[in-house]
Structure 1
Amino acid sequence: MDVNYDFDGTVALVTGASGALGGAIARAFHEAGAAVAAADVVEPDDDDGFFDSEGVRFYEGNFTDEGDVARVVDAIASDFGRIDHLANIAGTWRGGTPLDETDVETFDFLFDVNLKTMFLASKHVIPHLRETGGAIVSVSARSSLEGGTGDGIYRASKAGVRLLTETIAEENKGVVRANAVMPSVIDTEMNREMMPDADFDAWVKPEEIAQTVLFLCSDASSATSGAAVPVYGEA
């Protein structure tokens, strides 16, 4: 069954838009009629010309830097006149060593990229979302639900995303909804290169996760806030 969303007249800010998941979510919002403010610290590979599409604008900014976040959010609000949806997609994975062998630089990096970007983007966008009755969707992870071997710092940073999501929902009841999605392994080119012997068919595609993000920003999920939604597929 096909599901169609109508986001005409709304504005979606997508962080991490140069990545596979962020790019898929930006495209899904655009296909549903939203204007898209796509943000990332690096410019995207725009082979299909998407970022030059009408209603799409790219903003380069370091979302671990509060001054940069404030600058980008102010520019988006000025350019589009409003912000209705925030998709906190910026994030990454690092692992492979036990805790006692993990460099503190890895800790700082993962908490900056996975948690601080979500905190700063939410902090600066929430006042705009209160005006529009908007929604936030952030990316946590299935692995954040328990400890594990070799990537405890990653898991902890993504657990923080879940807890801040619940906090935003609690602090903005009836005004701004906030939810998180929890993927496992996502079917991206990078993950295929890292795990060439895995069963790719069991992985969830970025486009599938994008549909869940749109649902959580739509009126169809008006009763849902503070949730951590599994998007595991069969992974």
Structure 2
Amino acid sequence: MSVSFDFTDRVALVTGASGALGSAVCEAFADAGATVAAADVVAPDDEDAHLDTGDAIDFYEGDFTDEDDVARVVSEVVDDHGRFDYLANIAGTWRGGTPVAETDADTFDFLFDVNLKTAFLASKHALPHLRDGNGSIVSVSARSSLEGGEGDGLYRASKAGVRLLTETIAEEEKGEVRANAVMPSVIDTPANREMMPDADHEKWVAPADIAETILALCSDATGVTSGAAVPVYGES
């Protein structure tokens, strides 16, 4: 059974849009008829960017760890499009390899800034606009955030924070804005393949498949779903 979505006349703001998952989410929204406001500190013409802009995708450069930048981008999106209906908090990163006792405080700051602070600031500034149309937020947590683990505890903690932030927004905005999270394990990206060349890549989940779940969580098909942490593990 195939599934399709129709987001015609809707506007989606996607953070981390130049990354492998963010660009897949932008493309999925655009293919479903939405206007996409793609936001990232990395511009599409950067050699590390995966994002292709087009008629349905407008790029907004901004650092979502900086509240002034977030406020500016959100204001520009509303000025340009008159509204927005969905926020996809995709911005995130991974760092690991050392136990807590040997990890620099700068690594803590970096992970919590990129993984959690971006989701907080984007949600904070998006919520007044999302309430106008009973909009939806979907954020990216992680399967590993469900338990402690050796060598990447700060990453896990930051992603656990994303899940708890999601649950909090769902409770506070009940009846006005839905908030859900997706929980990937290992995503099949070029960076992950380079980092783990000997892994079984066939078991990893493609960014496009996770993007479809994010669209489902924004759609009317999940109108009674809020505060959920949805597994998108595949076989990994």
Bin the TM-score by the shorter chain: over 0.9
- What corresponds to 1:178 in structure 2? 179
- What corresponds to 1:16 in structure 2? 16
Letter in 2 for 1:107: F
Distance 2:135 2:197 in 1: 40
Contact between 2:11 and 2:84, CA under 8 Å: does it hold in 1? yes
SS of structure 2 residue aligned to 1:82: coil
Contact between 2:21 and 2:211, CA under 8 Å: does it hold in 1? yes
Q: CA deviation at 1:104?
A: 0.2
Q: CA deviation at 1:54?
A: 1.2
- What corresponds to 1:28 in structure 2? 28
Q: CA deviation at 1:49?
A: 8.1
- What corresponds to 1:60 in structure 2? 61
SS of structure 2 residue aligned to 1:224: coil
Distance 1:174 1:148 in 2: 36
- What corresponds to 1:189 in structure 2? 190
- What corresponds to 2:80 in structure 1? 79
Contact between 1:141 and 1:182, CA under 8 Å: does it hold in 2? yes
Q: Provide TM-score, normalisation by structure 2.
A: 0.97
Letter in 2 for 1:164: L
Deviations 1:193-226 (A, max 9, x none): 0000000000000000000000000000001000
Q: CA deviation at 1:2?
A: 1.4
1:101 matched to 2:102: yes
1:126 matched to 2:127: yes
Distance 1:121 1:166 in 2: 16
SS of structure 1 residue aligned to 2:93: coil
Letter in 2 for 1:73: V
Structure 1 unaligned residues grouped into runs of 5+: none
Deviations 1:44-72 (A, max 9, x none): 24899831x11211000000000000000
Distance 1:95 1:49 in 2: 26
Deviations 1:25-60 (A, max 9, x none): 000000000000000011024899831x11211000
- What corresponds to 2:233 in structure 1? 232
Distance 1:136 1:36 in 2: 14
Distance 2:140 2:43 in 1: 21
Contact between 2:23 and 2:50, CA under 8 Å: does it hold in 1? no
SS of structure 1 residue aligned to 2:9: coil
Structure 2 unaligned residues grouped into runs of 5+: none
Question: Which 4+ residue blocks in structure 1 deviate beyond 6 angstroms?
Answer: 46-49
SS of structure 1 residue aligned to 2:63: coil
1:50 matched to 2:52: yes
Letter in 1 for 2:65: T
- What corresponds to 2:153 in structure 1? 152
The alignment of Structure 1 onto Structure 2 pairs a total of residues equal to 234
Distance 2:61 2:140 in 1: 20
Q: Provide TM-score, normalisation by structure 1.
A: 0.98
Contact between 1:98 and 1:151, CA under 8 Å: does it hold in 2? yes
Letter in 2 for 1:175: E
Contact between 1:18 and 1:45, CA under 8 Å: does it hold in 2? no
- What corresponds to 1:110 in structure 2? 111
SS of structure 2 residue aligned to 1:22: helix
Contact between 2:20 and 2:50, CA under 8 Å: does it hold in 1? no
Distance 1:175 1:154 in 2: 31
Deviations 1:103-134 (A, max 9, x none): 00000000000000000000000000000110
Contact between 1:177 and 1:225, CA under 8 Å: does it hold in 2? yes
Contact between 1:64 and 1:116, CA under 8 Å: does it hold in 2? yes
